[in-house]
Amino acid sequence: MGEYAQSKPLPGGVKPAGKLHVADHVPELVEHAVRRGEGLLSARGALAVRTGPYTGRQPKDRFLVEDPAVAGTIDWGAVNQPVDPGQFDLLWHKALTHLAGQPELFDVQAHAGADPVHGVNVRVLTDQAWQALFSRCLFRQGNLPGRPEVNILAAGTCPATIAPCGARSEVFVGLDLAGRRVLILGTLYAGEIKKSIFSFLNWWLPSQEVLPMHCSATMGQAGDTALYFGLSGTGKTTLSADPRRKLIGDDEHGWSPAGIFNFEGGCYAKTINLRPETEPEIHQALGFGSLLENVPLASPSRNPDFSSSAWTENTRGAYPLEHIPGRVPESVGGHPSHVIFLTCDAFGVLPPVAALSPDDALHHFLLGYTAKVAGTEKGVSAPTATFSACFGAPFMPRSPESYASMLRERLKRHGSRVWLVNTGWAGGPASGANAGSRMPLAFTRGIVDAILEDRLNAATLRPDPMFRLSTLVGAPGSGIDPLKLDPRAQWKDPAAYDRAAADLAALFRKAATDKSLTSNG
């Protein structure tokens, strides 16, 4: 290893006791992981690993250092919890000592941000070869000259001390924004590595006149760019993996004065119920050089069982962008013609597609609505509304209004049209006596195609003040069945729909009040 990067001292000049591997080459990382018993190779060569007891992020164990240099820029609260700088330093030293004392240590030197003017260098130190492979997939290769560096200590095998560090469990995820340091203790879930850099960029980039966004992005054959916002499970990755369009990126982007750029060098897709018939590009991407998290392998074939939720519903696949044939190699695009807000409405109330005025777009951006369904999360036994400002509140250190203000300015300047697309249920909720059915992926793809091909621009709209959107009544020439556009008409009992809509609208009003959205359009 070491063709692209060279070994350099650990933070603070600490010397490693064992072997320090500069993690450049994927085959060697895979060999190390298998040799060390960290995972198994699937039939197609993906490295399959388990993350232990933690199979998702631990948002209640995430903290930001309360440094006077940045404290005034942070939206402190349940999401952005403060930790004393001295306590963070104690844990940083604990993690560094732990990692330096391991027989083997893996050093990933990369960067985040396809725009070299706005990118940052990233260094990940971990004692897990598979986490080095994950970082190699998700970040972009090599360092950017003259750019700042963020150091990540991924010490998942080292539990945090409950007292006096401020952690509530053995897990501690801490961000020192001013010091450009990230600390991960007690959890091997690799999504913490990815989202820690996203969180840093979400704080840093607005000061560089860049709007950071939790969205995917694609480019059409004519060079037009589209953005897809949405929370986990709403279809960002799936809908952006479209063979008819080129992929810019599947999850994290910046909107600079020059246009759109991807933060990442890879994709981190949910794989539960993944099938080659419906998501061929993602399925094909999960070969050698990719990673499967908590996906069981059948014996003796070692074929991944993507239908299994035996270990978690949140099964994941990480793969580099190079595994997607139809991608934009530079990972950049122009200003978007269309912006799509994705929601999975498990109550069966929202229409499959609606147009949003600029003011209503800001309203829905600040709400960030979707719904969880039974079985997707421990304790969820019925459809549950979820509101996450900016479609990514857990990763946004600044106030939601600051991001919304930047989005408003860009939508106005570039004339981007905004749409709400519901990938959830029609004809009834996800469960119960009046249960409906999930909208077919092919139907949703047809709607997205119609949007991106400008076949809905002349559609007839009916204002819906209850949800602050405009439902499509008819869309001649769009190829969409007009009978499926009216959500109320899909229910067997219209009165039951009215009750469900009133209940959901009440949740919207409560969320808007809680987030003080009344004055924000």
Q: Is 251 a catalytic residue?
A: yes
Domain with CATH 3.90.228.20 in the chain: 335-520
The one catalytic residue in 195, 253, 363, 364 is 195
Q: Catalytic one among 55, 199, 237, 331?
A: 237
Tell me if residue 194 is catalytic. no
Residues β-bridged to residue 112: 120
CATH dotted code for 335-520: 3.90.228.20
Active site residue 237: yes
Catalytic residue among 24, 176, 251, 360: 251
**How big is the chain by its Cα radius of gyration, in Å?**
23
195 is catalytic: yes
Residues in contact with 277: Cβ distance below 8 Å, sequence separation at least 6, in sequence order: none
Class of the domain covering 11-208: alpha beta
Given the residues 21, 57, 94, 136, the one annotated as active site = 57
Question: Of 21, 316, 323, 417, which residue is the catalytic one?
Answer: 316
Strands (E), 350-465: 353-356, 369-372, 384-387, 417-422, 425-426, 437-438, 460-464
Question: Which of 214, 323, 338, 417 is an active site residue?
Answer: 214
- The yes-or-no answer on residue 57 being catalytic is yes
Instruction: Quickly count: other Cβ atoms within 10 Å of residue 86's Cβ.
Output: 10
- The one-letter code for the residue type at 320 is P
pLDDT digits (tens, 9 = 90+) for 275-301: 999 899 999 999 999 999 999 999 999
Q: Please say if 378 is a catalytic residue.
A: no
Q: Fill in the amino acid letter for 143.
A: N
Residue of 118, 140, 180, 236 marked active site: 236
Name the nearest CA neighbour of 14 among 101, 123, 85. Answer: 101
CA distances for 213 relative to 251, 254, 256, 429, angstroms? 8, 6, 11, 30
Active-site residue identified among 55, 199, 218, 232? 232
**Count of CB atoms within 10 A of residue 278's CB?**
14
Q: What tens-digit pLDDT sequence spans the chain (521 residues)? A: 334 567 788 998 999 999 999 988 999 999 999 999 999 999 999 999 999 999 999 999 999 999 999 999 999 999 999 999 999 999 999 999 999 999 999 999 999 999 999 999 999 999 999 999 999 999 999 999 999 999 999 999 999 975 555 557 899 999 999 999 999 999 999 999 999 999 999 999 999 999 999 999 999 999 999 999 999 889 888 899 888 999 999 999 999 999 999 999 999 999 999 999 989 999 999 999 999 999 999 999 999 999 999 999 999 999 999 999 999 999 999 999 999 999 999 999 999 999 999 999 999 999 999 998 744 444 555 678 999 999 999 999 999 999 999 999 999 999 999 999 999 999 999 988 889 999 999 999 999 999 999 999 889 999 999 999 999 988 888 888 888 999 999 999 999 999 999 999 999 999 988 854 443 33
